């Protein structure tokens, strides 16, 4: 009999808790949803016909994949003054770009994410630099701490080329 009474009491509590006023969080969520509905009614999401941003991303992707394409990397000092520029066969690449996943996921007693060693057998350090290969000499160049901009066409700016001397 005690068991039946306990089950009935639990059932009544569940039913009664459904009749209680919503929490402040639930009320705020409803207000937020109502405001969003009103905003969508006043300013509906437009139907896009031309997909210009997607077209630009496709164009960029194709251009990044062109063999023999030259990229001009213009370095700026902290004051914004142009220091010079490099010419490369690729756009600058972050030094933390990897050919293998940067993490190992172990699922022994639970999922554990560990930093994976790189292909050189070491673990990655900071990723605050870029690298590229000089187009004239194929010299490896790594740049850190500079502001820069790139173009796939030479720009008419007040900067001299930074030349790598072949050995």
Tell me, yes or no, whether 125 lies in a domain.
yes
pLDDT at 72: 95
pLDDT at 89: 92
Residue 83 has φ and ψ, to the nearest 5°, of -90, -40
Return the C-alpha torsion angle 153, 157, 158, 163, nearest 10: -10
Which residues span the domain enclosing 85?
A: 70-151
Number of folded domains in the chain? Answer: 1
Q: Which residues of the chain have pLDDT under 70?
A: 1-22
Q: Please name which of 64, 61, 71 lies closest in space to residue 152, comparing C-alpha atoms.
A: 71
- What residues contact 76, with CB distance under 8 A and at least 6 apart? 82, 83, 146, 147, 148, 149
pLDDT tens column, 45-68: 999 999 999 999 999 999 999 999
User: End-to-end CA distance of the chain, in Å?
Assistant: 96
Q: How far is CA 130 from CA 45, 103, 140, in A?
A: 39, 21, 11
Tell me, yes or no, whether 133 lies in a domain.
yes
CB 93 within 8 A of CB 132: yes
Tell me, yes or no, whether 91 lies in a domain.
yes
Q: Please name which of 19, 134, 125 lies closest in space to residue 73, comparing C-alpha atoms.
A: 134
Tell me, yes or no, whether 39 lies in a domain.
no
Start-end of H helices in 43-97: 52-64
Tell me, yes or no, whether 65 lies in a domain.
no
Tell me, yes or no, whether 62 lies in a domain.
no
């Amino acid at each position: 009999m005690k068991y039946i009474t306990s089950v009935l009491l639990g059932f009544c509590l569940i039913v009664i808790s459904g009749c209680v006023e919503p929490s402040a969080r639930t009320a705020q969520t409803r207000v937020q949803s109502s405001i969003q509905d009103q905003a969508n009614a006043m300013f509906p999401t437009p139907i896009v016909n031309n997909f210009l941003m997607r077209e630009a991303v496709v164009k960029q992707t194709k251009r990044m994949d062109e063999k023999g394409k030259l990229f001009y990397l213009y370095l700026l000092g902290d004051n914004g003054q142009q220091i010079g520029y490099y010419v490369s066969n690729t756009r600058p690449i972050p030094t933390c770009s990897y050919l293998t996943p940067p993490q190992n996921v172990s699922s022994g007693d639970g999922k554990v994410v560990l930093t994976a060693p790189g292909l050189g057998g070491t673990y990655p350090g900071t990723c605050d630099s870029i690298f590229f290969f000089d187009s004239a000499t194929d010299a490896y160049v790594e740049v850190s701490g500079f502001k820069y901009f790139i173009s796939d066409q030479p720009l008419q700016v007040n900067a001299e080329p930074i030349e790598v001397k072949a050995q």
